[in-house]
Structure 1
């Protein structure tokens, strides 16, 4: 464990943000080469890595996934492993998740599974929602397409080492959406000569947050940014934009909410003689846990004597592991990182080192139960 903790501290000191994780990937590759995996795939979906450990007999291919990327947020917690990269930090615990998968790699190098294959995936760009899609669309992914996929995420606010589970939706799907409005600029002394998006923008700000109330299940629209023209006092604006985050627990509800936003925007834009365009970023699928895998995770936790909790509702945040649940039966579970642990994405957050062993042992039990 000391070796894994030191690795985690090194990764914490040198965080890299989405799609820039070249040095992080290099460190992981250096760790795995002595473990002699049967197959190594580099630059998967960009900077991703996959390590395959083959069993003695044919069988199912089991995937365990972690994330390579840090956040563009300053690490504020003073420690001997504080981030050395200004304005960047591993403030979601991906450094710890990587250390856990490295620990599982050590176990697999010493004890190959009885059957099948175990695939350890170090995925880029989870924070932007781009990484899972990039990996899944990489042509080489077909070579290692899994039969079952597992992942975990540490969860501040829950007792240390507690396993947090759900059948069905574990985390919401979400997308960033921007509505761009185009009219016509004019002199501010003659606004009637132009087409100013101000009124349409104001109406959208008032009306769009009401749309989720029409959904059958949980849905939410959060306005995050608005822009009208530029700071030119002699000009009446001819362009405007409104950005928001949409989220829902059900993929159909999320898709329906997107369509309702488009429909409302088109109606309002037409009434104001404006052109309208839509763009999307940071798209996360709903993370859906396969109910048949629930007992495997539950049994693993019980064998290790860990506390279990069934969360009554899905988490509102998103995780791009949701895309794997569209490829094969998948299961994402939580690992409590302490009731007093700072929340994820806070400047003072730091992954608890004692969770590394717990995560390794949970994954190892799942290997033994499945392969």
Structure 2
């Protein structure tokens, strides 16, 4: 019996878990209920459970047949600060929070893979299941690594999978080398001088400064970056003022930068600082710029990306595999784990629907047995590789 057939036999149970997680979303480093559910299911399977890595992370350790190989599998658990806009019977019960990226599904797929491997034990060595908190820009992977993840639970390689609402349904996408962009988050704080809106000459308008910075920053990609190298600069927040007739004292801009090239990443950061402080000086305002390294470039090991493609072809057929897919400008903190341990990150196509981080997004439950089978089969195949 193939992993897909066996896992499909209990897909309804897994779907119930996924929908329960969806109804009870928790933000990064707050995944108390979620990690408890994960730990409880692993313990019922006879899997050794360790809690508290990276605050709310969970690690499960399962011994197979005698062998030295140790294969890691990772899933993320956190939700997003988004108000869900759906009428699903299992919609979020927590105001302002929802699973809008499918981490509820990723967690469930890894639980499904863990159950399959615990019941069959058709692998050599050790399987290590990593349930990570706080993937959405809060540094959950780095927190687990700092807590000694790979010292306490060493692995020879590690794999992860993410749903892809762009489809095609059931198709695995994986890419050797740089596959997802590095990400920086920035905050630009403008301090002007407040005044009555009817007497603007008495103030220094931080809103004017902030909008001038916003427009000027769009020139970084179009005029400073090498057009053959990918870069994104997005301002996603502007905050200022609280009244119709008051020029405020301050304004705040925030956003993100995405790049693949380290030199370009440095250039973009330098230009943000130069543009923001220069415009501030021109208008007589004080400007402070903070730029934070949040995600590294996600680089798949070529050998492990090829192994992931081969495994997917075996399970789903070669027509359902793209082993040289296009890089994503999105970011993923599994990148930090791949800097410590070789491995690969793949995407699994879902039925068409609202995109990631959309208030109407819902994970495609038909992916659960497919993703779980893929992760489980990676352990079965890679555990017998000789060094």
Q: Partners of 2:344 and 2:263 in 1: how far apart? A: 20
TM-align CA RMSD? 2.6
Distance 1:348 1:179, change over 3 A: closer
Q: CA deviation at 1:175?
A: 2.6
> TM-score, normalization: structure 2?
0.85
Partner of 2:59, secondary structure, is strand
> TM-score, normalization: structure 1?
0.89
Judge conservation of contact 2:29–2:134 (CA < 8 Å) in 1.
Answer: yes
Which of 152, 155, 159 aligns to 2:164? It is 155
Partner of 2:361, secondary structure, is coil
Judge conservation of contact 1:229–1:237 (CA < 8 Å) in 2.
Answer: yes
Whether 1:350 aligns to 2:362 is: yes
Judge conservation of contact 1:92–1:344 (CA < 8 Å) in 2.
Answer: yes
Judge conservation of contact 2:61–2:128 (CA < 8 Å) in 1.
Answer: yes
Which of 58, 70, 81 aligns to 2:90? It is 81
Which of 320, 336, 342 aligns to 1:329? It is 342
Counterpart in 1 of 2:313?
Answer: 302
Q: How does 1:158-169 map to 2 (within 5 A)?
A: 158-169=167-178
Show structure 2 runs of 5+ residues with no match.
Answer: 1-9
Q: CA deviation at 1:182?
A: 2.4
Counterpart in 2 of 1:218?
Answer: 230
Whether 1:288 aligns to 2:284 is: no
Distance 1:272 1:136, change over 3 A: same
Cα deviation code 1:250-298 (max 9, x no counterpart)? 3443333122211222333344444332234682222221112122111
Partner of 1:17, secondary structure, is coil
Moved more, 279-288 or 60-69: 279-288
Partner of 1:90, secondary structure, is coil
Show structure 1 runs of 5+ residues with no match.
Answer: none
Q: How does 1:1-371 map to 2 (within 5 A)?
A: 1=10, 2-38=12-48, 40-112=49-121, 114-139=123-148, 141-185=150-194, 195-213=204-222, 214-216=224-226, 217-228=229-240, 230-231=242-243, 233=245, 236-280=247-291, 283-306=294-317, 307-310=320-323, 312-338=325-351, 340-371=352-383
Distance 1:347 1:224, change over 3 A: closer
